[in-house]
Amino acid sequence: MNEILNMTIDQMPQTQFDCSCGRHHNFSVHDISIRKGAIEDLPKMAEPFKDGKILVVFDNHTYEVAGRRTVEILKDNGFDIKELLFDTGDDILIPDEKTLGRILEEQDLDTSLMIAVGSGVLNDSVKFVTSRTKLPYIIVATAPSMDGYVADGAPIFCDGHKYSPLAHLTYGLIGDTDFLQTAPQDLIQAGYGDVVGKLTAIADWDLAVKVVDEYRCGTCVTLVQRALDKCFYNAPGLKTREPQSLAALMEALTMTGVAMALVNTSRPASGAEHMLSHYWEMDYIARGLNPNHHGIQVGVASTVIARFFEELADILPEGTGALCPPHEEIERILRLGGAPVSPTEIGIDKKLFHDSLMEGYTVRPRYSVLRFAKENGRLKEIADKITKEFYG
């Protein structure tokens, strides 16, 4: 029962166990390696696919960081590889029809495995395409920037609208701190913000259990909370890119993925703070602007959602409010890792901010503290108050 609580993260792949939540959990990822020099584990990880061709996908930035080394180590070990480079210059690659179609075009009939070298967008794009063409993929992470490395959803765009269709889990994850150390500070902050967002996500999950009787797994919550503690403890070293701090961040991002995979829902990782972030991002994309990094927005949004829990304290189910730290505490934790804390710091304008508070709950059908406020007739009053607090 709950054996996974006694394992280190690299022992978790291919684990099955009976859980105290009443379910049998199965974690199907084949290999996880998070350490200095983890790229050395790639040839062994990819060995079962050596009969076919391996498509390695990167952009001009991730090629420099890890793509060249990835290609080199595979060639040295006798793999037949094909390379796909997205040269986007300084622009951000968008996981839209064009990007996904291009990856599909490069998949030959004898391709047996894809390897994504990158973080958010490259991971999501390769994940989505391989899920549809039924190929395994391995992610070589270049930044501890988001929690989608081990997650079966793939946020992508269709007709300018973001959605997150079910895809599949990665076959393997390489988190080499030598690569992660080269990540730009804003991507490190983004990953950190995404981890901080779990604080409100867990409170939101508890609210859904108590109000609409959703399922919840205590083992998964424990896994995530432990990883958060370790990550926050090591957070001051993120600004100077200490390997230990980066590994703890990567581990927290991966652990929330493990928890998601165990319960087959993104509840352990994503609550109302993600709804606000998606709302802001869709607005930016619709206006043809480069959005803020996902996790930067999530971190900021979690301080906003914490205020909702505070404002609703008088009517929340017992115990739910206590799961969400005060917004000042979340701001302090964000600052520890050097991440922004306010929507004004990241360029969200007053109207967009207020709109997102009023309509954020419509982004996805999931129950959240935003919907709780709406159903109790408190949404507008709280949205007005919080907007005034930030924007005057």
Q: Given the rule CB under 5 A, which residues bind Zn ion?
A: 19, 21, 194, 217, 219
Which residue lies nearer to Zn ion by CB, 138 or 146? 146
- Contact between 88 and 60 (Cβ < 8 Å): yes
Distance between CA atoms of residues 123 and 44, nearest Å: 21
Which residue lies nearer to Zn ion by CB, 217 or 258? 217
Helix residue spans in the chain (DSSP H)? 42-46, 60-62, 68-76, 97-106, 120-133, 177-180, 185-196, 198-212, 218-234, 243-263, 272-286, 294-311, 320-323, 327-336, 350-359, 369-375, 379-391
Which residue lies nearer to Zn ion by CB, 74 or 196? 196
Phi, psi of 86 (to 5 degrees): -95, 110
Nearest approach, Cβ of residue 269 and Zn ion (Å)? 6
Nearest approach, Cβ of residue 102 and Zn ion (Å)? 25
Amino acid at position 26, single letter: N
Report strand pairing: 137-141 vs 111-118.
parallel
Nearest approach, Cβ of residue 294 and Zn ion (Å)? 6
Which residue lies nearer to Zn ion by CB, 17 or 391? 17
Which residue lies nearer to Zn ion by CB, 172 or 193? 193
Distance between CA atoms of residues 379 and 112, nearest Å: 51
Nearest approach, Cβ of residue 279 and Zn ion (Å)? 14
Nearest approach, Cβ of residue 384 and Zn ion (Å)? 27
Nearest approach, Cβ of residue 231 and Zn ion (Å)? 14
Nearest approach, Cβ of residue 145 and Zn ion (Å)? 10
Nearest approach, Cβ of residue 112 and Zn ion (Å)? 30
Which residue lies nearer to Zn ion by CB, 9 or 46? 9
| Residues in a beta bridge with 26 | 16
Amino acid at position 5, single letter: L
Contacting residues for 6 by C-beta, under 8 A, at least 6 apart: none
If we measure between CA atoms, which residue out of 274, 272, 273, 293 comes closest to residue 284?
Answer: 293
Count CA atoms closer than 13 A to 318's CA, side-chain side. 0
Which residue lies nearer to Zn ion by CB, 19 or 122? 19
Which residue lies nearer to Zn ion by CB, 136 or 197? 197
- Contact between 341 and 299 (Cβ < 8 Å): yes
